[in-house]
Amino acid sequence: MRSYSLIAPAKINLYLEIIGDRPDGYHELVMILQSIDLADQIDIQTNGDQNIRVYCDHPQVPTDKSNLAYRAVELMAQEFPTVWNTHGGVDITIHKQIPVAAGLAGGSTNAAAVLVGIDLLWDLGLTQSELEELGAILGSDVPFCLGGGTAIATGRGERLSPLSILDNIYIVLAKYRSLEVSTGWAYKTYKQNFANSYLQDRESLTTRTQAVHSGAIVKAILSKDPGQIAQNIHNDLERVVLPAYPQVLQLRELFAATEGVLGTMMSGSGPSVFAIVESLAQAELVKQHIQSAILDPDLELFITRTANHGIKLAPS
Q: What angle do CA 202, 208, 212 make, to 5 degrees?
A: 145
Residue 226 φ then ψ, to 5°? -55, -40
Longest dimension (CA), the chain: 59
Interacting residues of 234 by C-beta distance below 8 A, sequence separation 6+: 15, 16, 17, 217, 265
Rounded to the nearest angstrom, the gap between the alpha carbon of residue 207 and the centroid of all alpha carbons in its chain is 26
How far is it, in rounded angstroms, from Cα 151 to Cα 162? 4
Q: What are the distances in angstroms from CA 111 to CA 6, 114, 150, 160, 305?
A: 11, 5, 19, 18, 22
How far is it, in rounded angstroms, from Cα 119 to Cα 44? 11
What number of helices (H) and strands (E) belong to the chain?
12, 12
SS3 state at 150: strand
> Would you put residue 224 in left (φ > 0), alpha (ψ -120 to 50) or beta?
left
Which of the following is catalytic: 40, 91, 119, 141? Answer: 141
Q: Please indicate whether residue 65 is annotated as part of the active site.
A: no
Q: Please indicate whether residue 141 is annotated as part of the active site.
A: yes
How far is it, in rounded angstroms, from Cα 45 to Cα 153? 32
User: Catalytic residues, which ones?
Assistant: 11, 141
